[in-house]
Amino acid sequence: MTEHIIQNSGLLRSRTLEEFVRRQSIEEPLPTHNIFPPTSHALPSIDLHSARPEEQLAVACRDWGFFQIRNHGVPPALLDRLRAHSHSFFELPLQQKERAAACKANNFYGYGVAKARTYFPDDWMEAFDMEWTPVPRVRQHVEQVGLPHTQFHDFCGVVEEFASKTEKLAIHLTELVALGLGLDATTFSQHFAESTTSTVRMNYYPPCPQPSHTLGISAHSDFNIFTILLHDAVPGLQVLKDDEWITVKPSPDTLVVNVGDTFQAWSNGRVKSVMHRALVNSTEPRLTVVHFFGPHPDTMIVPPPALVDDHHPLQYRAFTYKEMVEQIMHIRGKKVFQSPLNSFLL
């Protein structure tokens, strides 16, 4: 079964496992995917219906850059349907999935194995990226796959409903964080009124014969505002906290959220974007669905004056979100991850 899943995914189609592992250059064996930290070191879990969640969010964004949220407003039934459709997509024959492959080297959108990782081309995963904003192109991406009529409309409907709800959730989170930082709620969200830049990605990690020698996704930070992640029951996400890799324990009906580089710069470092990665295992496939939320490309990223003072001098020069994306494309594929924020430091 494992061999069938790997071959169907295409991960071994163009290289042997030995060649693949050699290219990873992992200096020491990676830990198993299901070893969790003590409760005191677990990822913050925040109930959005609790009293003053903005304070909890501001602390989590400052100390962790990652958190789980409950009572987030996305129905559990919708999340279950999305997981089911995502699994069905990746179980399709490779030749069918590749009909939706990105045809341009610098195109984020479409299906891919090597292309799918923004930073590292050799990780043990495959992905399907669909543009949601500024122009929704979910149906254009999916129609290339050639799904049966009913399945096509069900698949697209579920993805679009998820994207719509998580888009609103991301904007709401920027308002709560603004309040937690002592700002007006609309300080950041006013910039999303006309347009945003968002992508929905399905990630799939097949069982790996040598999981201690490779990664599903190598260590990196995200470059956007917020990333909202739906996971299944199989663990694998790790977050770097105080120089230690913390494995996130999946929790039913929760969503994992992390701060992106752009929001770190926009807040003048009051919230932080942190490194994270994904482990793989030898027995179970793992699935995640991710909404990458960012502003319109022409949005100017300049911290609010209230977040700049003698104790918090300005850290980054002003830049547009378009410049951030261009910087990501420049560093894409390099062997060692380089934060795009380095290019904007004062």
The arithmetic mean of pLDDT across residues 56-63, rounded, is: 97
Q: Is residue 175 part of a domain?
A: yes
What does the pLDDT read at residue 284?
Answer: 94
Q: Is 240 helix (H, G, I), strand (E, B) or coil?
A: strand
pLDDT at residue 13, rounded to an integer: 46
Least confident of 11-20, 165-174, 200-209: 11-20
Token look-up 């410049």 returns 323
pTM score, whole prediction? 0.92
pLDDT at 29: 82
For the stretch 65-75, pLDDT in tens is 999 999 999 99
Residue 346: inside a domain: no
323 lies in some domain: no
Which residues have a Cβ under 8 Å from the Cβ of 266 and sit 6 or more positions away?
188, 225, 301, 302, 303
The CATH number assigned to the domain holding 237 equals: 2.60.120.330
Q: Give the Å distances, CA to CA, from 195 to 56, 134, 138, 293.
A: 28, 6, 17, 11
Angle 191-46-133 from CA coordinates, rounded to 5°: 30
Q: Three-class SS of residue 179? A: helix
Which of 58-62, 87-91, 169-173, 242-246 has the lowest average pLDDT?
242-246
Domain count, the chain: 1
Residue 336: pLDDT above 80?
A: no
State in Å, rounded, how far the first CA of the chain is from the last one. Answer: 53
Range(s) of the domain holding residue 169: 2-296
- Residue-wise pLDDT for 74-126, tens only, equals 999 999 999 999 999 999 999 999 999 865 545 678 998 754 455 566 789 99
pLDDT at 108: 74
pLDDT at 330: 81
Q: What is the pLDDT of residue 10?
A: 55
- Kindly calculate the radius of gyration of the chain based on its CA atoms and give it in whole angstroms: 19
Provide the Cα torsion 226, 232, 233, 234; round to 10°. Answer: -80
Residues with catalytic annotation? 286
Q: How far apart are alpha carbons 289 and 127 in whole angstroms? A: 9
Residue 246 lies in a domain: yes
Q: Report yes or no on 272 lying in a domain.
A: yes
For the stretch 150-191, pLDDT in tens is: 999 999 999 999 999 999 999 999 999 999 999 999 999 999
**Neighbour-count burial for 154-191, b at 16+ CB within 10 Å, e otherwise:** bbbebbbebbebbbebbbebbbbbbbbbebeeebbbeb
Strands (E), the chain: 45-47, 66-70, 110-112, 126-133, 196-205, 217-220, 226-231, 237-241, 244-247, 255-259, 276-278, 286-295, 300-301, 319-320
Q: How far is CA 216 from the centre of its chain?
A: 13
Q: Decide if 126 contacts 111 (C-beta within 8 A).
A: yes
- Residue 331 lies inside a defined structural domain of this protein: no
Share of the chain above pLDDT 70, in %: 86
Determine the pLDDT at residue 103.
58
In a domain, 10, yes or no: yes
123 in a structural domain: yes
